[in-house]
Structure 1
Amino acid sequence: MDRKIKVLFVCVHNSARSQMAEAFLNALYGDRFEAMSAGLEPGALNPYVVRAMQEVGVDISNAKTKSVFELYKAGYIYSYVITVCDPEAAERCPTFPGVTKRLHWSFPDPSQAKGSDEEKMAMVRSVRDAIRQQIEAWAPTVVERALKV
């Protein structure tokens, strides 16, 4: 397979879930995939997410939040657009041109974590681990399908 499979992860603010998914796909399967992430209403990177990712050896501290609509207007083409927010927010995503497969993986929003610092980190770690498990289950099946084509 010469070309990388282009994937866009989208959530509301591009501050947590989509950033983690992008980082994991690039870190674990960067030889086969090129991942990006964007938000419907880009915000600031969630510091709890930065800390949680550093705990597993992935540095996203310099990541920038991006607008899904800006990427759309710029003409980016993806094989997969994967929303990682709630279904209502996912419905607001633009339809990208080309043969794009749309997937929806719903994960809890780390910005909604409540309680002490440790309780917030526990919730963010749980979301981080769920995203990683989803990536590790999905990516090999996509590569296998692409190799058969």
Structure 2
Amino acid sequence: MKILILCTGNSCRSQMAHGFMQSFNPELTVKSAGTEASGKLNANAVKAMKEIGIDISQHTSDSVNKYINDEWDYVITVCGGANENCPVFTGKVKHRLHMGFDDPSHATGSDEFIWSEFIRVRDEIKETFQKFYKEEIEPQL
């Protein structure tokens, strides 16, 4: 089973979703990418995942172009706000899905509030992707 998770910068939401999917089943082939890949991971995303025992620190922030010629069972976009354009993947895909989440890297305010946004979004991603895994992926394995 091959799953590609896309967003714009590939530094935060798609990386967290990638980490969760891989933690649910290490046998899955999971990659994440962005249309405007930042080239680095968001430090708070790495910290938020580490806090619950998932290490994404070795992930890379890659351009979607790296995967455009591959075949995928699922391509999932995770962009959220109305001000974002979700990437369109033009490669060979069996199922295209959208699961939108706010971008915690755009949060402003106190350090405590910004951190709480990373935790909130992380937990939303976990819940949504866990449901997806149990209902869609597991029955196919």
Query: What is the TM-score with the length of structure 1 in the denominator?
Result: 0.86
Q: Is the 8 A contact 1:68 1:93 kept in 2?
A: no
The residue aligned with 1:16 is 12
The Cα shift of 1:126 comes to 0.4
Does 2:67 match 1:71? yes
1:102 aligned partner, one-letter code: R
**CA-based RMSD:** 1.5
The residue aligned with 2:97 is 103
Structure 1 residues not aligned, in runs of 5+ = none
Q: Matched residues in 1 for 2:47 and 2:6: separation? A: 21
Q: Matched residues in 1 for 2:125 and 2:23: separation? A: 13
Aligned counterpart in structure 2 of residue 46 of structure 1, from 30, 42, 46: 42
Q: Matched residues in 1 for 2:52 and 2:66: separation? A: 31
Q: Matched residues in 1 for 2:56 and 2:135: separation? A: 26
1:13 aligned partner, one-letter code: G
The Cα offsets for residues 95-136 of structure 1, whole Å up to 9 and x where unpaired, read as 221x42100001001211111222111000000000000111
Where do 4+ consecutive residues of structure 1 move more than 4 Å? none
Query: For 2:89, what is the secondary structure of its paired residue?
Result: coil
Q: Greater CA radius of gyration, 1 or 2?
A: 1
Query: For 2:4, what is the secondary structure of its paired residue?
Result: strand
Give runs of aligned pairs for residues 57-96 of structure 1, distance below 5 A.
57-72=53-68, 75-86=69-80, 89-90=85-86, 92-96=87-91
Q: Is the 8 A contact 1:69 1:94 kept in 2?
A: no
The Cα shift of 1:145 comes to 4.1
The Cα shift of 1:15 comes to 0.3
Query: What is the TM-score with the length of structure 2 in the denominator?
Result: 0.90
Aligned counterpart in structure 2 of residue 141 of structure 1, from 126, 131, 135: 135
Give runs of aligned pairs for residues 118-129 of structure 1, distance below 5 A.
118-129=112-123
Query: For 1:102, what is the secondary structure of its paired residue?
Result: strand
Q: Matched residues in 1 for 2:138 and 2:15: separation? A: 25
Q: Matched residues in 2 for 1:56 and 1:35: separation? A: 19
